[in-house]
Structure 1
Amino acid sequence: MPAVNSIGAPNPVDLDARLTKKEHKEEKQKDKESGTEKIYRLIPDGEFEIIPLGEDPSKGIKIGAGLPELVKKQLEACLKQNAEIFAWSASEMPGIDPEVACHQLTLDPRAS
């Protein structure tokens, strides 16, 4: 199970629900303004192997190396059978709003 990590936060998971939605929104806005916004990301757990999907070696999917052999073979077959549903660039997703398709890099703006 992947762990959750937070950049710039001493406690990565805040389970304190004592703030109202309005207060939570205000806290979040303060974090954005001060440059200390909490950015959560998954930390991979374990070793991986890359399953190539087609001729291009740069187009591959990572799967857990510790999976049972039968599961690996079934997963690989399923991924290859459905390889056409994966998009590797924005140009392969015409008509999709970039706000939906783009991601944010987790970089600290104060880092040099």
Structure 2
Amino acid sequence: MSAYQIEASVPGDLANETGVDYTVVRPRLTETPIYEFALPPRADLITALATYFVTPQLADAIAAAQITGLAFADARVSADDQLLLLHPDIELDLAVDAG
């Protein structure tokens, strides 16, 4: 068995509208998460409280490698006003590990 350490990028955070259940030891998302970017994404793996976000390309690679112990679900993404001002044509696309 191999062990790996991952280091995820943090170019933003969960939007305020994202519901999070803090009554459990590991906080969990209670609805489809909204990740709000403050910086342009430069990595395929991004983290925020209680979850990891991945690009569709990384999700496909993980599925092809038959890695277990995780699940994918939809996520919504947005960009804050400053990011949109600096990068008006930015394209944002993520999947989310809902496990």
| Fold shared per TM-score above 0.5 | no
**Bigger radius of gyration among the two:** 1
Larger RCO, structures 1/2 (Cα 8 Å, 6+ apart): 2
State TM-score, norm by structure 1.
0.25
Q: Which one has the bigger strand percentage?
A: 2
